[in-house]
Structure 1
C-alpha cells in the first residue's frame, strides 16, 4: 500500500524527522529513479539539503518541502526532463496520493500541465491508475532501506549551510560594488543618463506591449531590451546574473536576472510556453508585489521579456538573494488569470 503521511515529530527536530521518514523517502526515490542503487543516494542528498535549511522550513508544511526537494533534486539531474516529469507526476498522483493542485505547486507548473503529464504517462505505461499502483507496490515490495546515514547527512548539511551563507554574502557584495562605481561616475559626469522611456506618453491600460523584431525599448536607466526570432536581448550598464536570452521552448516557464543600474537594480527575465499573450507577470521583492511590464514579439505572443517598471532598492535585492530557493520571486499568469509558471531561481543557489 502507498505510504501514509506521518505526523511531524514534536519539537520540529531534524534528527527525529530524518529517522522517521527515511524509509518513505527511499521508497519514493526508488519509484522516481527506477534504480535501487540511485534511490538511497537521492534520499541522502535530499536530507542534506533539508538539513542545511531546516531552521527556515515552516513547521506545519515540512512534508511538502521535503517531498519537493526530493522530486526536484531528481529532475535537475536528468536531461530528458519530459519523460522524467511524467513519471514524477504519476508517482506523486498514484503512489503518494496527492491532488493535482498539490502536484502543480510542488513542480511549479499549472494543474493543466499536471493533467497532461498524467494522461500521457498512463498512455505510455499502457495501464490505468489501479494497475500502475499495483506495479509500484511490486517494485518496492522487497525494498529494505539501510539505516539513515544521519552523521554524514548532518555533517554535509552544516557544510552546505555555511557555503550558502558565504555565497549570499559574496553575491550581495558583488551587487553593491557596481552601484558605488556607477554613482561615482554619475557624479563626476554630471549625472547624465537615459530615463525610463514613455515620458509624456499616454498611460497604457495593459502591461503587455507588442513589439516588432529588433525594436529597442528603453526599460530602465541605461537599459535597453528587444526581441528577435531567436530570443531576448539586453543592453545593460553592468551585467550581474541571469539567463543568456536564447529563445525558450517547451512547457511554461519564467526566468529571473539581476542587473546593476542607476538608482538600484534592474529585475527582468524571459517567459515562455504560453498559448497566447500572458495576462500579467507579478514580481515580489521586499514586502510588496508589483506588476511587471511585458514585451511580446508580433506574431509570436507565447513568449517574451518581462521587466520591473522601476529599479529595485539595495534592501529589496538583498531580501531576494537571502530568501530560500522555495520562495518564488516571479509569477507568470496566463490570459485567463491562472498561474502558468513561477521562477525557478536556480541561477545563484548552491
Structure 2
C-alpha cells in the first residue's frame, strides 16, 4: 500500500501523515488498542530524537523497523511475536522476504520459515489473513497524533544520546560491577588481526565451559551453556541481548580499557562455525578481524572480540557516523554474510 505523501525534511508533517497507519500496524502487532497507540507514540519519539540522521530516501524503512523492533522488546513471547510480526509485514505492509529480513535483522530463510509456521498457527491462508487484517484495520480509529508530547520526548532522548556520546568520548563513565575475573590467556588477545588474505591461522578458538580468555586490558570473556559472559572495569554501551540462540544475530558492546575502547559481543544462530567476524574500527572503512570463542559442541554461537582497543578518536568517529552502516559483520562457513550488528546499538 502506498505511503502518504509528506514533506521529507519535516518531522511534524511526517508524523501527522503517518500516525493513522502506524497505529493500525501497531494494533495488528499488539492486538490491543491502548498498547498500539503507546507503541506508535514511542516509535515516533525515538525517530524524532534521531530525525536528522535518518536517510531522507529511506525514512519509511527506519520508522517501520523501529516500530517492529520496539514491539519485539516487550514481555510478549518472543517466538510468537516474531511470527506475528512477519505475517503483518507480509500480508498487511506488503513487504518482500528480503525487506522483512532487513527489518528484523535475520535471514530470508528465517522469514520464509516464520511465514509458514505463522500461517499454520493462524489456520488461515494468505488471502484470508489479508481480509482479517483489512477488517481489523477498518475498526481502528486512531486519536489525533499527540505531537507536542512526542517531540518533547524526542528532545529528551536526543539529549540523552548526546550525553552518552560525549561521555563515551571523554571516558567519564560509571563503573559497573560485572562477573568475576579469570585467568589470562596465552597472549593472543593482544594481537591485532588484519583484513588481508585469509592465510593466517583460524581466529576460532574452542574453549571449555567457564574458561576465561583475556579480550583486552582488564576485560575477560568466557562461555557457559547459558550464554556469553564478560568481566570488565567499565561498560559504556552495548546489548548482550536475550534473543534465542537459534536465530541469526550478533550483539555489540563497548568497554573502556587502557588505550581506548574494546569492542566485543555475542553471535548466534549460525549453522556451524563462523569463518570470521569483521569489525569496522573507523569511519574511513578500516576493519579488523575479530577473535572468536566457541563452546565445544555448540559451534553455532559464541563470543567475538576485537584483538586490540579502538583509540578514542576512532571511537568518536564510529559514534558520530550516520546512515545505516553496521559495525560488526559475521560470515558463515561458506563466506556469506550471516548476521550484522544493529546500527542503533548505542542509541537506546
Same fold per TM (> 0.5)?
Answer: yes
How far is 1:88 from its partner? 0.5
2:123 equivalent to 1:139: no
Could you tell me which runs of 5 or more consecutive residues in structure 2 were left unpaired when the two chains were aligned.
176-185, 192-198
2:89 equivalent to 1:92: yes
User: Contact 2:190/2:216 (CA < 8 Å) preserved in 1?
Assistant: no
How far is 1:269 from its partner? 1.5
Indicate how the Cα distance of structure 1 residues 294 and 34 shifts in structure 2: closer, same or farther if over 3 A, else same.
same
2:245 equivalent to 1:249: yes
How far is 1:264 from its partner? 2.0
Larger deviation: 141-150 or 120-129?
Answer: 141-150
Indicate how the Cα distance of structure 1 residues 230 and 4 shifts in structure 2: closer, same or farther if over 3 A, else same.
closer
Aligned residue among 275, 284, 297 for 2:271: 275
Aligned residue among 145, 156, 160 for 1:159: 156
Could you tell me which runs of 5 or more consecutive residues in structure 1 were left unpaired when the two chains were aligned.
179-193
User: Contact 2:190/2:307 (CA < 8 Å) preserved in 1?
Assistant: no
User: Contact 1:325/1:346 (CA < 8 Å) preserved in 2?
Assistant: no
2:206 equivalent to 1:210: yes
Question: 5 Å matches for 1:103-122?
Answer: 103-122=100-119
User: Contact 1:207/1:294 (CA < 8 Å) preserved in 2?
Assistant: yes
1:303 is matched with: 301
User: Contact 1:89/1:114 (CA < 8 Å) preserved in 2?
Assistant: yes
In the alignment, the residues of structure 2 paired with residue 78 and residue 115 of structure 1 have an alpha-carbon distance, to the nearest angstrom, of 24
2:80 is matched with: 83
1:330 is matched with: 328
In the alignment, the residues of structure 2 paired with residue 205 and residue 219 of structure 1 have an alpha-carbon distance, to the nearest angstrom, of 18
Indicate how the Cα distance of structure 1 residues 62 and 346 shifts in structure 2: closer, same or farther if over 3 A, else same.
closer
Cα RMSD for the two superposed structures: 3.0
How far is 1:285 from its partner? 2.7
Indicate how the Cα distance of structure 1 residues 167 and 218 shifts in structure 2: closer, same or farther if over 3 A, else same.
closer
How far is 1:246 from its partner? 9.4
2:31 equivalent to 1:37: no
In the alignment, the residues of structure 2 paired with residue 225 and residue 160 of structure 1 have an alpha-carbon distance, to the nearest angstrom, of 31
In the alignment, the residues of structure 1 paired with residue 251 and residue 292 of structure 2 have an alpha-carbon distance, to the nearest angstrom, of 13
How far is 1:109 from its partner? 1.1
In the alignment, the residues of structure 1 paired with residue 144 and residue 174 of structure 2 have an alpha-carbon distance, to the nearest angstrom, of 48
Indicate how the Cα distance of structure 1 residues 57 and 265 shifts in structure 2: closer, same or farther if over 3 A, else same.
same
**TM-score, normalised via structure 2 length:** 0.83
How far is 1:235 from its partner? 4.9
In the alignment, the residues of structure 2 paired with residue 283 and residue 83 of structure 1 have an alpha-carbon distance, to the nearest angstrom, of 32
User: Contact 2:289/2:306 (CA < 8 Å) preserved in 1?
Assistant: yes
- Count of aligned residue pairs for this structure pair: 329
1:23 is matched with: 20
2:47 equivalent to 1:47: no
How far is 1:236 from its partner? 4.6
In the alignment, the residues of structure 2 paired with residue 21 and residue 244 of structure 1 have an alpha-carbon distance, to the nearest angstrom, of 33
User: Contact 1:231/1:247 (CA < 8 Å) preserved in 2?
Assistant: no
2:340 is matched with: 342
Larger deviation: 31-40 or 333-342?
Answer: 333-342
